Chain A
């Protein structure tokens, strides 16, 4: 059974940093793209970032470009999202979602349960 488990969320002050992790199990991790999607309280889904199975090409939403960095450690079956210069508007539940192919150009067929990031002073 495919499982994605996010961790690393928490309360941070504006301007601070957090690193989210997404640990994958039950799949051949290194052949699928993985994405981060966030959902602000009471709001819709917003794609944040994605990375191909090869890990060589990251993609970002304009709202986080230059502040967030996505990476993957295939030896640990884990995806990361390094979030710097956090803003109040980054407050959200962050999901990792596995694409059903090797590139970002596939929909998410498995999702984790999310980790909550709260940016507040």
Chain B
């Protein structure tokens, strides 16, 4: 089974910072990767699909890159609304696999 590993687990940052979160797959997954944002008490919200495609309505400060086994989510200028937990997800015909999550907290 493919494992997804995110780093870091927790990230302390300030408003205006550039933030990057890494997700690594245990084997190559092409670009079958999505990123989600989850705020406390809320359902996850998809930000990025197919590694680099921005979901409709998502601010352009979010971007995704990578292919194969290494992927990056970048927030170009962190906003107050962006403090949340972020998950990467590999999807294939048979299953979904999530990373363990990265919590972005106030520095």
Contacts and interface: CB of A to CB of B under 8 A. Distances in A.
Chain B CB count within 10 A is highest, among A50, A62, A107, A114, for A107
Contacts, number: 65
Interface string B12-56: 000000000000000000001010101000111110010000010
Interface residues of A, number: 25
Contacts of A46: 98
A47 B90 CA distance: 11
Given A59-B95, A104-B95, A109 B101 contact: no
Interface string A35-67: 101000000111100100000000101100000
Interface in A42-98: 44-47, 50, 59, 61-62, 95, 97
Contact of A44 (B32, B55, B95, B98): B98
Given A44-B101, A50-B95, A108-B46, 14 more contacts: A35-B96, A37-B96, A45-B98, A59-B94, A95-B44, A104-B93, A104-B96, A105-B91, A106-B91, A107-B91, A107-B96, A108-B36, A109-B55, A114-B43
Interface of B: 1, 32, 34, 36, 38, 42-46, 49, 55, 87, 89, 91-101
